[in-house]
Amino acid sequence: MTTRPRLGYLMVVAGAVLFGLNGGVSRVAMGSGLTPETFTTLRITGATAVFMLTALCIRRSALRPPTGSSLMLVVALGLVGVAALQLTYNIAITRLPLGIALLLEYLAPVLVILWVRFARKEAVHQRMWLAVALALGGLAVVGQVWTGLAFDGLGVVMGLLAAVSFATYFLLGEHNVGTTDPLRVILWAFVVATVVMNLAQPLWTVPELDSRTTMLGRLDGWSVNPWIAVAAVVVLGTVVPFFLQLLALQHLPATVVTVIAMLEPVIANVLGWGWFRESLNGLQVLGVVAVLAGIVLAQTARTVEPDLLPQP
């Protein structure tokens, strides 16, 4: 397959923007009386239904379950890269300040690069390490992690597991889309995640929601039907960005995609400032610039000549 890096960049940036915006919409949805666990089950189950409907309409071959090694990889993607990622992240943000939870989750690019360099023995440009350092440092500043360093053991463990799950999503996704139809991969990964989440928190436990829920923050004077918010989370905050970032792996290596995905927490923090009246000072703006600089640097490091690879 011919790779189109520019298309890959567009896809992963669009996915990161939608994931970042999704944080605000999720707050609105959960404000109607949904617990994080129930909300996660509703989100994943709804996304699976949309993926199935999409496959039914445009590519029915995707409805056939993968077999053999492809099936095992898809099961792992669903268990770790979808269900575990959502669950561990939701627990982390309830026990840690948001900035720290995001910083822990976004250790994923470091894990991806370490895996590619030392497990796969593949070339990684030296500039990629600087790109990751800039992006992580910028995230620490944006999230102002020094304002909430109270140690919560379970929260930290969940944040680190979220990083592992996030890295696994990209690494398994990169492998799967190289051998299997991406729609088929994402559909069956979400089927696996749906089964797991419904065993943990069944869909039928979703409570009756209020007819209207506030838009919160600067939009507090406005209200919306909570099911509209849930639908937006399912389609624009889950189906579209997950699929876009999986498709991006057809055109870009996982090492680059994970660094670009660091736009998500930056957007979430800017959204928090613009929508929820959360502070965003000059130092945080510099952090945003550092993240963007890291992302730009990562683009220049997506390829490397064999002689640039340090010898083990």
Instruction: Write down the domain spans for the chain.
Output: 5-304
Q: Which of 23-27, 93-97, 164-168 has the lowest mean pLDDT?
A: 93-97
* Entry pTM: 0.84
pLDDT at 132 over 80: yes
pLDDT at 250 over 60: yes
Mean pLDDT of the 254-278 span = 84
Which tens digits make up the pLDDT trace of 3-36?
A: 788 899 999 999 999 988 888 888 888 888 888 8
The dihedral region occupied by 66, where left means phi > 0, alpha psi between -120 and 50, and beta the remainder, is beta
223: which DSSP letter? E
CB 259 within 8 A of CB 14: no
Of 220, 82, 97, the residue nearest 151 (C-alpha): 97
Query: CA dist 239 to 82, 177, 226, 246, Å?
Result: 12, 16, 18, 11
Query: CA dist 55 to 33, 48, 181, 196, 227, Å?
Result: 32, 11, 11, 22, 24
Average pLDDT, the chain: 86
pLDDT-based confidence at residue 279 (cuts at 50, 70, 90): confident
Angstrom distance (rounded) from CA 47 to CA 56: 14
Q: Which of 52-66, 70-84, 85-99 has the lowest mean pLDDT?
A: 85-99
- Per-residue model confidence (pLDDT) at position 151: 63
